[in-house]
Amino acid sequence: MNNIFVYCETDNGTIADVSLELLTKGRKLANQLNCKLEALVIGHKLKGIESQLFPFGADVVHVADDPRLDPYTTLPHTSITVKLFQEEKPQIALMGASVIGRDLGPRVSSALQSGLTADCTSLEIGGHEDKRAGKVYENLLYQIRPAFGGNIVATIINPDNKPQMATVREGVMKKEIYSPTHKGELKQIDVKKYVDDADFIVKIIERHIEESKVNIKNSSIIVSGGYGVGSKDNFDLLFQLADVLGAEVGASRAAVDAGFASHDRQVGQTGVTVRPKLYIACGISGQIQHTAGMEESAMIISINNDPNAPINKIADFIITGDLNTVIPKMIKYYKQNTK
Protein backbone atom coordinates (compact mmCIF):
# COMPACT_ATOMS: atom_id res chain seq x y z
CA MET A 1 0.00 0.00 0.00
CA ASN A 2 1.01 3.61 -0.62
CA ASN A 3 3.90 2.63 -2.81
CA ILE A 4 5.27 4.19 -5.98
CA PHE A 5 3.92 2.79 -9.24
CA VAL A 6 5.47 3.12 -12.68
CA TYR A 7 3.33 2.29 -15.71
CA CYS A 8 5.76 0.54 -18.06
CA GLU A 9 5.42 0.64 -21.83
CA THR A 10 6.63 -2.23 -23.96
CA ASP A 11 7.77 -2.39 -27.55
CA ASN A 12 7.95 -5.93 -28.98
CA GLY A 13 8.70 -7.48 -25.61
CA THR A 14 11.20 -4.83 -24.56
CA ILE A 15 10.48 -2.29 -21.84
CA ALA A 16 10.68 1.24 -23.25
CA ASP A 17 13.63 3.40 -22.20
CA VAL A 18 11.34 6.05 -20.74
CA SER A 19 9.85 3.46 -18.36
CA LEU A 20 13.30 2.28 -17.21
CA GLU A 21 14.27 5.91 -16.65
CA LEU A 22 11.17 6.36 -14.49
CA LEU A 23 11.95 3.19 -12.53
CA THR A 24 15.45 4.57 -11.88
CA LYS A 25 13.93 7.80 -10.56
CA GLY A 26 11.13 5.91 -8.79
CA ARG A 27 13.68 3.74 -6.97
CA LYS A 28 15.41 6.82 -5.58
CA LEU A 29 12.10 8.33 -4.48
CA ALA A 30 11.04 5.01 -2.91
CA ASN A 31 14.27 4.81 -0.91
CA GLN A 32 13.71 8.36 0.25
CA LEU A 33 10.11 7.64 1.25
CA ASN A 34 10.92 4.20 2.60
CA CYS A 35 8.28 2.51 0.45
CA LYS A 36 8.25 -0.06 -2.32
CA LEU A 37 8.61 0.50 -6.04
CA GLU A 38 6.05 -1.34 -8.16
CA ALA A 39 5.90 -1.70 -11.94
CA LEU A 40 2.77 -2.26 -14.01
CA VAL A 41 3.10 -3.85 -17.45
CA ILE A 42 0.07 -4.25 -19.68
CA GLY A 43 0.33 -5.98 -23.03
CA HIS A 44 0.83 -9.39 -24.58
CA LYS A 45 3.58 -12.05 -24.69
CA LEU A 46 5.05 -10.67 -21.51
CA LYS A 47 6.43 -13.93 -20.12
CA GLY A 48 9.70 -13.18 -18.36
CA ILE A 49 9.28 -9.40 -18.67
CA GLU A 50 9.93 -9.02 -14.93
CA SER A 51 13.58 -9.92 -15.49
CA GLN A 52 13.98 -6.60 -17.33
CA LEU A 53 12.40 -4.70 -14.44
CA PHE A 54 13.91 -6.16 -11.27
CA PRO A 55 17.45 -4.86 -11.98
CA PHE A 56 16.01 -1.34 -12.12
CA GLY A 57 14.77 -1.69 -8.59
CA ALA A 58 11.17 -2.90 -8.96
CA ASP A 59 10.03 -4.71 -5.81
CA VAL A 60 6.76 -5.85 -7.33
CA VAL A 61 5.91 -6.33 -11.00
CA HIS A 62 2.22 -6.50 -11.94
CA VAL A 63 1.63 -8.07 -15.34
CA ALA A 64 -1.61 -8.00 -17.33
CA ASP A 65 -1.11 -10.28 -20.34
CA ASP A 66 -3.82 -10.70 -22.97
CA PRO A 67 -3.72 -10.64 -26.79
CA ARG A 68 -6.28 -7.81 -26.82
CA LEU A 69 -4.01 -5.55 -24.76
CA ASP A 70 -1.32 -5.12 -27.43
CA PRO A 71 -0.96 -2.72 -29.17
CA TYR A 72 -2.08 -0.15 -26.63
CA THR A 73 -5.61 1.20 -26.74
CA THR A 74 -6.96 3.68 -24.20
CA LEU A 75 -9.92 2.05 -22.49
CA PRO A 76 -8.62 -1.42 -21.49
CA HIS A 77 -5.31 -0.03 -20.25
CA THR A 78 -7.26 2.63 -18.32
CA SER A 79 -9.60 0.08 -16.74
CA ILE A 80 -6.74 -2.09 -15.51
CA THR A 81 -4.69 0.85 -14.23
CA VAL A 82 -7.62 2.52 -12.49
CA LYS A 83 -8.82 -0.65 -10.77
CA LEU A 84 -5.34 -1.66 -9.71
CA PHE A 85 -4.69 1.81 -8.29
CA GLN A 86 -8.01 1.70 -6.43
CA GLU A 87 -6.90 -1.56 -4.81
CA GLU A 88 -3.27 -0.68 -4.21
CA LYS A 89 -3.66 3.02 -3.39
CA PRO A 90 -0.25 4.19 -4.59
CA GLN A 91 0.99 7.51 -3.25
CA ILE A 92 2.83 8.28 -6.49
CA ALA A 93 2.20 7.08 -10.05
CA LEU A 94 4.61 7.86 -12.89
CA MET A 95 4.19 7.45 -16.64
CA GLY A 96 6.19 8.38 -19.70
CA ALA A 97 5.18 11.65 -21.33
CA SER A 98 4.84 9.65 -24.54
CA VAL A 99 1.90 9.28 -26.91
CA ILE A 100 0.75 6.41 -24.66
CA GLY A 101 1.41 8.05 -21.28
CA ARG A 102 -0.18 11.32 -22.33
CA ASP A 103 -3.26 9.44 -23.53
CA LEU A 104 -3.54 7.17 -20.49
CA GLY A 105 -2.44 9.53 -17.70
CA PRO A 106 -5.24 12.11 -17.95
CA ARG A 107 -7.89 9.42 -18.36
CA VAL A 108 -6.69 7.63 -15.22
CA SER A 109 -6.32 10.84 -13.23
CA SER A 110 -9.85 11.90 -14.18
CA ALA A 111 -11.29 8.56 -13.10
CA LEU A 112 -9.44 8.70 -9.79
CA GLN A 113 -9.95 12.46 -9.25
CA SER A 114 -6.24 12.78 -8.73
CA GLY A 115 -3.87 15.48 -9.88
CA LEU A 116 -1.57 14.96 -12.83
CA THR A 117 1.34 17.09 -13.98
CA ALA A 118 2.53 16.65 -17.54
CA ASP A 119 6.08 16.77 -18.86
CA CYS A 120 7.92 17.19 -15.58
CA THR A 121 11.61 17.96 -15.84
CA SER A 122 12.37 17.20 -12.20
CA LEU A 123 10.73 15.24 -9.38
CA GLU A 124 11.63 15.79 -5.75
CA ILE A 125 10.23 15.04 -2.30
CA GLY A 126 9.42 17.88 0.04
CA GLY A 127 7.01 19.34 2.55
CA HIS A 128 4.32 21.95 2.28
CA GLU A 129 2.49 24.20 4.68
CA ASP A 130 -0.99 25.41 3.79
CA LYS A 131 -1.23 28.38 6.13
CA ARG A 132 -4.82 29.21 5.29
CA ALA A 133 -6.07 25.71 6.01
CA GLY A 134 -3.61 25.32 8.88
CA LYS A 135 -2.30 22.07 7.44
CA VAL A 136 1.22 20.79 7.21
CA TYR A 137 2.14 18.12 4.69
CA GLU A 138 5.26 16.00 4.63
CA ASN A 139 6.80 13.99 1.84
CA LEU A 140 4.85 15.37 -1.08
CA LEU A 141 5.99 14.87 -4.64
CA TYR A 142 7.26 18.14 -6.08
CA GLN A 143 6.40 18.01 -9.76
CA ILE A 144 8.63 20.57 -11.41
CA ARG A 145 8.06 21.70 -14.97
CA PRO A 146 8.46 24.68 -17.22
CA ALA A 147 5.14 26.34 -17.99
CA PHE A 148 3.78 29.25 -19.94
CA GLY A 149 5.66 28.31 -23.07
CA GLY A 150 8.73 27.68 -20.99
CA ASN A 151 9.10 31.17 -19.61
CA ILE A 152 8.58 30.14 -16.03
CA VAL A 153 9.27 27.04 -13.95
CA ALA A 154 6.45 25.85 -11.72
CA THR A 155 6.54 23.48 -8.78
CA ILE A 156 3.23 21.62 -8.58
CA ILE A 157 1.97 19.58 -5.65
CA ASN A 158 -1.12 17.45 -5.03
CA PRO A 159 -1.52 17.72 -1.26
CA ASP A 160 -4.88 16.03 -0.77
CA ASN A 161 -5.36 13.63 -3.65
CA LYS A 162 -3.58 10.38 -4.27
CA PRO A 163 -1.93 9.09 -6.30
CA GLN A 164 0.22 12.07 -7.10
CA MET A 165 0.63 11.56 -10.82
CA ALA A 166 3.28 12.87 -13.18
CA THR A 167 4.51 12.22 -16.68
CA VAL A 168 8.12 12.66 -17.74
CA ARG A 169 9.57 12.68 -21.26
CA GLU A 170 12.07 10.17 -22.52
CA GLY A 171 15.64 11.20 -21.84
CA VAL A 172 14.84 13.61 -19.00
CA MET A 173 15.71 11.14 -16.23
CA LYS A 174 18.80 8.98 -16.36
CA LYS A 175 18.49 5.22 -16.80
CA GLU A 176 20.69 3.32 -14.36
CA ILE A 177 20.64 -0.27 -13.20
CA TYR A 178 19.91 -0.31 -9.47
CA SER A 179 21.32 -3.75 -8.82
CA PRO A 180 21.75 -6.61 -11.30
CA THR A 181 20.80 -9.07 -8.58
CA HIS A 182 17.79 -7.19 -7.20
CA LYS A 183 14.76 -9.47 -7.15
CA GLY A 184 11.12 -8.75 -6.54
CA GLU A 185 7.73 -10.35 -6.64
CA LEU A 186 5.73 -11.12 -9.79
CA LYS A 187 1.96 -10.65 -9.65
CA GLN A 188 -0.26 -11.72 -12.54
CA ILE A 189 -3.38 -9.65 -13.07
CA ASP A 190 -6.52 -11.61 -13.90
CA VAL A 191 -7.38 -9.53 -16.97
CA LYS A 192 -11.00 -10.74 -17.26
CA LYS A 193 -11.79 -9.18 -13.89
CA TYR A 194 -10.39 -5.81 -14.90
CA VAL A 195 -11.71 -5.20 -18.41
CA ASP A 196 -14.99 -5.78 -20.14
CA ASP A 197 -15.95 -6.05 -23.79
CA ALA A 198 -17.08 -2.43 -23.99
CA ASP A 199 -13.46 -1.41 -23.38
CA PHE A 200 -12.58 -2.70 -26.83
CA ILE A 201 -14.90 -0.38 -28.76
CA VAL A 202 -11.99 1.49 -30.36
CA LYS A 203 -10.03 -0.86 -32.60
CA ILE A 204 -6.75 -0.42 -34.38
CA ILE A 205 -7.30 -1.32 -38.00
CA GLU A 206 -3.98 -0.23 -39.49
CA ARG A 207 -0.57 0.48 -38.07
CA HIS A 208 2.71 1.58 -39.64
CA ILE A 209 5.59 2.03 -37.27
CA GLU A 210 8.90 3.08 -38.74
CA GLU A 211 12.30 2.97 -37.18
CA SER A 212 13.12 6.57 -36.45
CA LYS A 213 15.49 7.96 -39.04
CA VAL A 214 16.48 10.84 -36.86
CA ASN A 215 18.51 9.96 -33.83
CA ILE A 216 19.41 13.18 -32.10
CA LYS A 217 19.24 11.60 -28.65
CA ASN A 218 22.34 9.49 -29.24
CA SER A 219 24.32 11.93 -31.33
CA SER A 220 27.52 13.27 -29.75
CA ILE A 221 27.38 16.51 -31.76
CA ILE A 222 24.17 18.42 -32.47
CA VAL A 223 23.81 21.41 -34.76
CA SER A 224 20.54 22.96 -33.72
CA GLY A 225 18.52 25.78 -35.24
CA GLY A 226 15.91 28.14 -33.88
CA TYR A 227 13.39 30.57 -35.27
CA GLY A 228 16.30 32.92 -35.95
CA VAL A 229 17.49 30.62 -38.74
CA GLY A 230 14.73 32.30 -40.68
CA SER A 231 13.55 29.67 -43.14
CA LYS A 232 13.52 26.03 -44.10
CA ASP A 233 16.04 26.81 -46.84
CA ASN A 234 18.44 28.35 -44.36
CA PHE A 235 18.26 25.13 -42.36
CA ASP A 236 20.14 23.49 -45.27
CA LEU A 237 23.23 25.25 -44.05
CA LEU A 238 22.84 23.54 -40.68
CA PHE A 239 22.52 20.19 -42.44
CA GLN A 240 25.71 20.91 -44.38
CA LEU A 241 27.63 21.66 -41.18
CA ALA A 242 26.16 18.58 -39.49
CA ASP A 243 27.15 16.48 -42.47
CA VAL A 244 30.74 17.67 -42.33
CA LEU A 245 31.03 17.23 -38.55
CA GLY A 246 29.20 13.89 -38.40
CA ALA A 247 26.48 15.52 -36.35
CA GLU A 248 22.69 15.45 -36.24
CA VAL A 249 20.45 18.47 -36.78
CA GLY A 250 18.18 19.54 -33.95
CA ALA A 251 15.66 22.36 -33.73
CA SER A 252 13.86 24.50 -31.21
CA ARG A 253 10.12 24.32 -30.84
CA ALA A 254 9.71 27.70 -32.54
CA ALA A 255 11.61 26.39 -35.58
CA VAL A 256 9.49 23.23 -35.68
CA ASP A 257 6.26 25.20 -35.28
CA ALA A 258 7.35 27.47 -38.11
CA GLY A 259 7.86 24.42 -40.32
CA PHE A 260 11.64 24.86 -40.66
CA ALA A 261 12.38 21.38 -39.29
CA SER A 262 10.49 18.15 -38.65
CA HIS A 263 8.97 17.30 -35.30
CA ASP A 264 11.35 14.43 -34.54
CA ARG A 265 14.22 16.93 -34.40
CA GLN A 266 12.73 19.02 -31.62
CA VAL A 267 14.95 19.51 -28.59
CA GLY A 268 13.47 20.72 -25.34
CA GLN A 269 10.79 20.12 -22.78
CA THR A 270 8.20 19.07 -25.35
CA GLY A 271 10.81 17.40 -27.55
CA VAL A 272 13.87 15.33 -26.82
CA THR A 273 16.34 15.89 -24.01
CA VAL A 274 19.93 15.61 -25.20
CA ARG A 275 23.37 15.57 -23.57
CA PRO A 276 25.87 15.69 -26.46
CA LYS A 277 29.52 16.61 -26.10
CA LEU A 278 28.94 19.59 -28.38
CA TYR A 279 25.74 21.56 -28.98
CA ILE A 280 25.87 24.31 -31.59
CA ALA A 281 22.83 26.56 -31.15
CA CYS A 282 22.17 28.63 -34.27
CA GLY A 283 19.65 31.44 -34.05
CA ILE A 284 18.15 30.01 -30.87
CA SER A 285 17.06 32.59 -28.32
CA GLY A 286 17.05 30.11 -25.45
CA GLN A 287 13.68 29.89 -23.75
CA ILE A 288 13.68 27.48 -20.82
CA GLN A 289 11.42 25.23 -22.91
CA HIS A 290 14.48 24.66 -25.11
CA THR A 291 17.33 24.91 -22.63
CA ALA A 292 15.64 22.35 -20.35
CA GLY A 293 16.40 19.83 -23.07
CA MET A 294 20.06 20.69 -23.79
CA GLU A 295 21.65 22.53 -20.87
CA GLU A 296 23.56 19.43 -19.80
CA SER A 297 25.52 19.42 -23.05
CA ALA A 298 29.24 19.25 -22.31
CA MET A 299 29.96 22.26 -24.51
CA ILE A 300 27.60 24.84 -25.98
CA ILE A 301 28.35 27.22 -28.82
CA SER A 302 25.80 29.92 -29.50
CA ILE A 303 25.71 31.65 -32.87
CA ASN A 304 23.35 34.58 -32.68
CA ASN A 305 22.91 38.08 -34.06
CA ASP A 306 21.72 39.20 -30.69
CA PRO A 307 24.57 39.50 -28.18
CA ASN A 308 21.98 39.45 -25.38
CA ALA A 309 20.16 36.25 -26.40
CA PRO A 310 19.32 34.37 -23.18
CA ILE A 311 21.03 31.22 -24.47
CA ASN A 312 24.37 33.04 -24.40
CA LYS A 313 24.25 32.84 -20.63
CA ILE A 314 24.65 29.08 -20.70
CA ALA A 315 27.04 29.02 -23.67
CA ASP A 316 30.77 28.31 -23.50
CA PHE A 317 31.41 30.15 -26.76
CA ILE A 318 29.32 33.02 -28.03
CA ILE A 319 29.70 33.98 -31.66
CA THR A 320 27.92 37.24 -32.31
CA GLY A 321 27.12 37.31 -35.98
CA ASP A 322 25.07 36.03 -38.86
CA LEU A 323 24.95 32.26 -39.07
CA ASN A 324 25.00 32.52 -42.87
CA THR A 325 28.49 34.01 -42.52
CA VAL A 326 29.71 31.94 -39.60
CA ILE A 327 28.67 28.42 -40.64
CA PRO A 328 30.39 28.46 -44.08
CA LYS A 329 33.55 29.60 -42.35
CA MET A 330 33.32 26.72 -39.87
CA ILE A 331 32.78 24.25 -42.70
CA LYS A 332 35.68 25.67 -44.68
CA TYR A 333 38.13 25.55 -41.77
CA TYR A 334 37.11 22.04 -40.77
CA LYS A 335 37.45 20.70 -44.31
CA GLN A 336 40.86 22.26 -44.75
CA ASN A 337 42.27 21.13 -41.43
CA THR A 338 41.09 17.57 -41.02
CA LYS A 339 41.64 14.51 -43.14
Residue number, 24 or 289, with CB nearest to other proteins: 289
| For other proteins, the closer CB: 47 or 202 | 202
Residue 282 contacts residue 303 (beta carbons within 8 Å):
yes
3-state secondary structure (DSSP) of residue 257: helix
Nearer to other proteins, 186 or 314 (CB): 314
Give 181 or 212: the residue with its C-beta nearer to other proteins: 212
Least CB distance to other proteins at residue 338 (A): 5
Q: Rank residues 61 and 95 by Cβ distance to other proteins and give the closer one.
A: 95
CA distance 120 to 143: 6
CA distance 229 to 120: 28
Residue 211: Cβ-neighbour burial (10 angstroms; 0-12, 13-18, 19+):
exposed
- Pick the closer one to other proteins by CB: 5 or 279: 279
The whole-angstrom separation of Cα 282 and Cα 303 is: 5
Smallest distance, Å, CB 187 to other proteins?
26
Q: How far is the CB of 219 from other proteins (least distance, A)?
A: 13
Query: 190 or 210, CB closer to other proteins?
Result: 210
Q: Closest approach of Cβ 118 to other proteins, in Å? A: 4
Q: Could you tell me which residues are beta bridge partners of residue 74?
A: none
* Cα gap 321→323, rounded to integer Å: 6
Minimal distance, residue 166 CB to other proteins, in Å: 10
Q: Return d(Cα 66, Cα 243) in angstroms, integer.
A: 46
**Residue (154 or 177) nearer to other proteins, CB:** 154
- Distances, alpha carbon 168 to alpha carbons 34, 99, 254, 286, 316, in Å: 22, 12, 21, 21, 28
Q: Which helix (H) or strand (E) holds 253?
A: helix 253-257
Closest separation in Å from C-beta 267 to other proteins: 15
**Residue 314 Cβ vs other proteins, minimum distance, rounded to whole Å:** 6
299 alpha-carbon distance from chain centroid: 22
Q: How far is the CB of 42 from other proteins (least distance, A)?
A: 17
> Rounded CA gap, 179 and 331, in Å?
45
Phi, psi of 319 (to 5 degrees): -105, 110
For residue 136, the 8-state DSSP code is E
* Separation between Cα atoms, residue 220 and residue 241, nearest integer Å: 14
Question: By the 8 A CB rule, do 331 and 241 touch?
Answer: yes
C-alpha distances (whole Å) from 189 to each of 53, 81, 107, 186, 217 are: 17, 11, 20, 10, 35
The CB-of-295 to other proteins minimum distance in angstroms stands at 10
Smaller CB separation from other proteins, 147 or 186 = 147
